[in-house]
């Protein structure tokens, strides 16, 4: 037994180290295989928004039966398209209804003097659009700059 025991002890020590690291590795992997895509929109241009809204619909339909999480974050000039009088408000309502998360950057809104009351109903908010873009990628979301 002595030889085997020393071996077990040695290797088990390695396993303890591994056990500490594993939850993290497992979580990273679990994230990387999910269908999750973040669309960044920084343009104030209805044609581009319509293209992006088409893209989001194509993504949802293109994965067929698979679950997919789709989010859009607007910052900079892109925030204009989420105002109450947005020329694409009907399509944004449809996207929200289909489960897409649509968020406006509060940093940008502050800079433009916009409040939630000025914006489309049912959209969400993030403190900073650019921080959101970094965080979501860190969490394994695909990034799409249309």
- For position 4 contacting a second copy by CB under 8 A, the verdict is yes
Residue reference for tokens 């040695």: 10
Q: Which of residues 58-117 bind a second copy (CB under 8 A)?
A: 58-59, 61-63, 75-77, 107
User: Quick one: which of 44, 93, 125, 128 contacts a second copy (CB under 8 A)?
Assistant: 128
Give dist(CA 44, CA 80) in Å, integer: 6
In whole angstroms, the minimum distance from the beta carbon of 121 to a second copy comes to: 26
Q: Find residue 91's DSSP bridge partners.
A: none
Give dist(CA 29, CA 140) in Å, integer: 9
Total binding residues for a second copy by CB under 8 A? 58
Look up residue 99 and give its DSSP letter: T
In the complex with a second copy, the residue whose CB is nearer, 105 or 120, is 105
In whole angstroms, the minimum distance from the beta carbon of 84 to a second copy comes to: 24
User: Quick one: which of 41, 42, 73, 81 contacts a second copy (CB under 8 A)?
Assistant: 42
CA distances from 31 to 1, 115, 125, 141 (A): 43, 34, 23, 8
Task: Provide the residue count of the chain.
Answer: 146
In the complex with a second copy, the residue whose CB is nearer, 50 or 121, is 50
Give dist(CA 8, CA 54) in Å, integer: 58
Smallest CA-to-CA distance from 138 within 57, 32, 2 is with: 32
- For position 44 contacting a second copy by CB under 8 A, the verdict is no
Residues contributing to the site for a second copy (CB under 8 A): 1, 4-5, 7-19, 21-22, 24-26, 28-29, 32-33, 35-37, 40, 42, 51, 54-56, 58-59, 61-63, 75-77, 107, 127-131, 133-134, 137-138, 140, 142-146
């Amino acid at each position: 037994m002595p030889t085997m025991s020393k071996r077990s002890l040695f290797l088990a020590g390695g396993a303890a180290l591994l056990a500490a690291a594993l939850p993290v590795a497992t979580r990273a992997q679990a994230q990387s295989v999910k269908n999750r895509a973040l669309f960044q929109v920084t343009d104030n241009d209805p044609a581009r928004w319509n293209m992006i809204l088409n893209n989001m619909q194509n993504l949802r339909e293109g994965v067929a039966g698979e679950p997919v999480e789709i989010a859009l974050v607007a910052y900079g000039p892109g925030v204009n398209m989420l105002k109450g009088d947005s020329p694409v408000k009907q399509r944004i309502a449809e996207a929200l209804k289909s489960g897409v998360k649509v968020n406006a950057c509060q940093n940008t809104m502050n800079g433009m003097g916009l409040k939630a009351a000025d914006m489309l109903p049912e959209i969400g908010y993030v403190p900073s659009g650019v921080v959101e873009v970094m965080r979501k990628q860190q969490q394994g979301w695909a990034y799409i700059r249309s």
